[in-house]
Structure 1
């Protein structure tokens, strides 16, 4: 990873064993540095403002303030870092709740170390990461709890290029990766994404991912990885 800036990570998990494992996986040798650790979501906002991490790796069930509540608090802050939810609980409602709260993605704690590293890099660069093992079920639960789409919200509102961009968002690509795939500048990609969100009434990237799945632009298990 020589020559590339390290991805700064804040770890929030109440289990020392998990935090120890993350230190071994997210270390400088692999292009990461853990800038702080917390055992609860209580001080996430203050710690994030003080340490300015690129990504927050967040457990869901913790004493004091749980991961969903902490994620909601973080996403209210302007320019807050993305949250990657990491959990042992194969609980669709909990993980869907994390997406509704504004998490950039989720990964089960049983995932491979390489998948965790890729997931952290992906959300750090503006992408979304949904664990393929449970994506389909979590998206279904997410849909059940989200506000209904406004009338006229359909993929036909998009230009062909906007459909291409939305499909790549659904596949988990960051803005930089989308720009490379479509031979566009990052500024142009951001403009397309802004138009997509406005036309479809989407509030965040997670909602865009769900829309892409719902409209057949991408399917569970289908991604750039």
Structure 2
């Protein structure tokens, strides 16, 4: 025969279990309700999602926006500086994409047009967009090279010579066809939009190529 005390203890134990279950289910239902309200608010645009961030390419250096120098005045050219002769434009073609062979491909195109290719290789960084890097003495040369592309970034760095570097990024845009290049030897160069005097720009640090200046391996 079961004692009344035992029955009472079992009843109390079941009651506590039911209470715990009610609390657990209540918390779960409340959590799901909050999630549903949040999802509806994000869907309707009432609030922005904390996960709504742009995708970035792993390993690719985030490129800052730098001021672009204006074309400097040139002695004997009162209407504005004329383009540099291709043969006087010394270009080093550097792969900053991680994809082997791009420096060679660009070198071939530019050399066929008469540019003075003084080297090719890799840089120890990865860039998303292609850049032309140059010093204060080579602004005209940089503009002359930039005219070969539909769009490209111009970055003034701290070098002191007239050589310029073409850094080919992951999302590179190939050179224009020769007939599409808007450049005439007897017509002054046009300033980039929103350019500023070169003297007002603090040059960035130059990106040096890898020690092995051959395009044997892509930059890592």
Q: TM-score, normalised by structure 1?
A: 0.27
Whose helix proportion is higher, 1 or 2? 1
Which entry has the higher C-alpha Rg, 1 or 2? 2
Q: TM-score, normalised by structure 2?
A: 0.28
